[in-house]
Amino acid sequence: MTTSRYAVLAEGLRKRYGETRALDGFDLAVPHGMVYGLLGPNGAGKTTAVRILSTLVRPDGGRAEVAGYDVARQPRIVRRRIGLAGQHAAVDEILTGRQNLKMFGRLFHLGAKRAARRADELLEQFDLAEAADKGVKEYSGGMRRRLDLAASMLLAPQVLFMDEPTTGLDPRGRNEVWEAIRSLVAGGTTVLLTTQYLDEADQLAGRIAVMDAGRVIADDSPAALKDTIGGDQIEVIVQDAADIPGARKAIARVSAVEPTADDENRRVHAPVTDRVAALTEVARTLQDGGIAVEDIGLRRPTLDDVFLRLTGARAEARPNRPDTKETATA
């Protein structure tokens, strides 16, 4: 039995697909017993990283350990200690929920009695006991996703990799999956979560790594990442897009940072220190300038702000990098 300080550890991972560098010196250290978010734009390398860490793809360079075992030299041991939930639920709609879990149990080489017992445990854990003997075709999207998570937990993995787990779900289904993930972590499982829903990462992750161009460019708690953007932000939404330059000038008077403009949503914002004085000054300047506003206010930075600030800056610095699609090469 091996022990390790980290549930997942990657050092300098590299992976090429033709001329494209999917991973280019990828480093990651995931502590035990938490949800760790992995964020990044399409083509950043998130899925490639998960495929390597779950032993589905071999890296071209670097090294990685999962649950204390080397993914390249000890893949069979790693596979016995992990679970993997992809973007779409891999369950059979013809079978019932119970039959699905028992079938997966037998595929995982559990005996018939043990597979049945484990299926019952997981149906209870994921709040599916009442629907256990219904056909999966009758399940909602959230129920199917929870059943898929239950299947990934049949061997009680130490580490669960979740790649875009709530893609396509409605808000209720997403909340159901979130509660299931929290339950898993409370039971001691470490979850590495890739997602493009930044509110999902904010809700679930104790720590977040932001990827771009095949490497991690930021790694901290959600609160600390937001603090890198600054404190409170003043935000103005003008009624007429032609007034965006005027709104930028008004906000620039009270912020040490150049205001950011979102032309499509007619939104201008920037960090400020003196909240009330800044809001009063901007409102007066807009009124004096005859600029009609749809909304004005103060808010805390979000992960969306962090993501756009970090990946937007990186995108400007990499004009020669081939355009890639996450589903194909990363």
- Mean pLDDT, residues 81-88 taken together: 82
Residue 163 lies in a domain: yes
Residues 201 and 248 in one domain: no
Helices (H) and strands (E) in the chain, counts: 12, 14
Q: Let me know whether 60 and 165 are in one domain.
A: yes
Provide the 10 A C-beta neighbour count for residue 166: 23
Tens digit of each residue's pLDDT (9 = 90 or more) over 138-171: 999 889 888 988 888 888 899 999 988 887 778 8
Question: CA–CA separation, 59 vs 56, rounded Å?
Answer: 10
**In a shared domain, residues 170 and 214:** yes
Q: What does the pLDDT read at residue 160?
A: 94
Of the chain, the percentage scoring pLDDT greater than 90 comes to 64
d(CA 124, CA 89): 19
Domain end among 226, 245, 274 = 226
Does the residue 10 lie in any domain? yes
Number of domains in the chain: 2
User: Taking the chain, what is the end-to-end CA distance rounded to the nearest angstrom?
Assistant: 32
State whether 64 and 162 are in the same domain: yes
Domain boundary among 226, 246, 265: 226
Structural domain of residue 274, as residue ranges?
Answer: 231-300
Instruction: Report which of 285, 246, 289, 290 is spatially closest to residue 268, judged by C-alpha positions.
Output: 246
More confident residue, 311 or 99: 99
Asked if residue 132 belongs to a domain, the reply is no
Give the pLDDT score at 89: 66
Question: Is 26 domain-assigned?
Answer: yes
User: Are 175 and 214 found together in one domain?
Assistant: yes
The reply to whether 235 and 289 lie within a common domain is yes
Same domain, 72 and 13: yes
> 44 and 23 in one domain?
yes
* pLDDT at 199 > cutoff 60: yes
Phi-psi region of 109 (alpha: psi -120 to 50; beta: other; left: phi over 0): left
List of E strands, the chain = 6-17, 20-31, 35-39, 61-66, 69-70, 82-85, 159-163, 190-194, 207-212, 215-220, 233-238, 260-262, 267-271, 293-299
The reply to whether 115 falls in a domain is: no
pLDDT band at 2 (very low <50, low <70, confident <90, very high): low
For 113-128, what is the mean pLDDT? 92
| CATH, residue 21 | 3.40.50.300
Contact 69, 242 (CB under 8 A): no
| CATH number of the domain to which 286 belongs | 3.30.70.100
pLDDT score for 94 = 92
Specify if 310 maps to a domain: no
Same domain, 162 and 292: no
Q: How confident is the model at residue 175 (pLDDT cuts 50, 70, 90)?
A: confident
3 pLDDT band, cuts 50/70/90, is low
Radius of gyration, alpha carbons of the chain? 23
Nearest CA among 4, 138, 141 for reference residue 67: 4
Burial 190-226 (b: 16+ CB within 10 A, else e): bbbbbbebbebbbbbbebbbbbbbbbbebbeebeebb
47-59 average pLDDT score? 95
| 211 belongs to a structural domain | yes
Let me know if residue 281 belongs to a domain: yes
Pairing between strand 267-271 and 260-262?
Answer: antiparallel
Last residue in a domain, options 226, 248, 275: 226
* Average predicted confidence (pLDDT) for the chain: 89
pLDDT category, 282, cuts 50, 70, 90?
A: very high
Report the predicted TM-score, pTM, of the whole model to 2 decimal places.
0.78
Say yes or no: 247 and 181 in one domain: no
Residue 302 zone, left/alpha/beta (φ > 0; ψ -120 to 50; rest):
beta
- Bridge partners for 70 per DSSP: 65
pLDDT of residue 73: 96
Kindly state whether residues 193 and 172 are assigned to the same domain: yes
Distance (Å, whole) CA 104 – CA 111: 11
Are residues 262 and 163 located together in one domain of the fold?
no
